[in-house]
Structure 1
């Protein structure tokens, strides 16, 4: 099928009168869309909560462990010239 034939076929399909849809399709689509929106909103909020709690946990760990400070030496340096 050539490009022009495809375009013409698509135009014919779009120009045909639409078939009537059952009335319950609209309500079902609205119900499913609302449910999908609620799930996405819930997932987004949970991801933000997880990110926030990870940041708080990292901050608390960094303040208590202080990984940037060199740990004290376990051995004493040798005494020379005494």
Structure 2
């Protein structure tokens, strides 16, 4: 499409009256927006619960396994001087 043709097409589109908007459009948009916000809030709450559960699980594991303590020796030291 040549540049002049595009400019003419744009002028024609801008010269026309805008298409009619359905009267219930704003109500539908508001309902959809509220639904999206509720869904995001629910997802955020679930993610926080998962983070909390993971933190509790790591804490319980650390308290029971005590990974910072040196493990006991697997072999006994040699007996000398008997």
Q: The TM-score by the shorter chain falls in which range?
A: 0.7 to 0.9
1:7 is matched with which residue?
A: none
List 4+ stretches of structure 1 deviating above 6 A.
13-16
CA offsets 1:10-52 (integer angstroms, 9 cap, x no match): 8xx7897644311111111111111100000000011111001
2:63 is matched with which residue?
A: 63
2:24 is matched with which residue?
A: 24
* Structure 1, unaligned runs of 5 or more: 1-9
2:75 is matched with which residue?
A: 75
* Structure 2, unaligned runs of 5 or more: 1-9
